[in-house]
Amino acid sequence: LAVGRGSAKEPKFIILEYRHPEAKTHLGLVGKGVTFDTGGLNIKTQGMHHMKSDMGGAAAVLGATQVIADLKIPINLTTIVPAVENAVDKDAYLPSEIIASHAGLSIEVVDTDAEGRLILADGLSYLIETYKPDQVIDMATLTGSAVGTFGYECAALFSNDSKLSETIQNAGKGIGEKTWPLPIWEEYAKEMDSEIADIRNYHGKPIAGAITAAKFLQAFTHEHPSWAHLDIAGVAFADTDFAKTKSGTAFGVGLLLKFIENQL
Q: Hey, where are the domains in the chain?
A: 3-263
What pLDDT, in 10s, does the model give residues 114-152?
Answer: 999 999 999 999 999 999 999 999 999 999 999 999 999
CA angle 190, 194, 198 (to 5 degrees): 95
Give the closest residue to 37 by CA, choosing from 49, 25, 29. 49
Give the predicted TM-score (pTM) of the model: 0.97
What is the arithmetic mean of pLDDT over 64-79?
Answer: 98
E-strand ranges in 23-178 read 26-31, 33-37, 76-86, 98-99, 107-108, 135-140, 155-159
Could you confirm whether 44 is annotated as catalytic?
yes
State the distance between the two ends of the chain, measured CA to CA, in whole angstroms.
38
Q: DSSP state, 10?
A: P
Residue 245 has pLDDT above 90, yes or no: no
Candidate list 5, 32, 117, 200, residue with the active-site label: 117
State the sign of the Cα–Cα–Cα–Cα dihedral 36, 110, 186, 220: negative
Output the CATH code of domain 3-263.
3.40.630.10
State the sign of the Cα–Cα–Cα–Cα dihedral 130, 224, 76, 82: positive
Give the closest residue to 4 by CA, choosing from 26, 44, 48, 34. 34
What is the arithmetic mean of pLDDT over 86-91?
Answer: 97
Return the pLDDT at 240: 83
Residue 91 has pLDDT above 90, yes or no: yes
What is the arithmetic mean of pLDDT over 57-68?
Answer: 98
Residue 241 has pLDDT above 90, yes or no: no
Residue pair 98/106 in contact by the 8 Å Cβ criterion: yes
What is the arithmetic mean of pLDDT over 224-242?
Answer: 94
Could you confirm whether 19 is annotated as catalytic?
no
Return the pLDDT at 39: 98
pLDDT band at 22 (very low <50, low <70, confident <90, very high): very high
Candidate list 12, 19, 32, 44, residue with the active-site label: 44
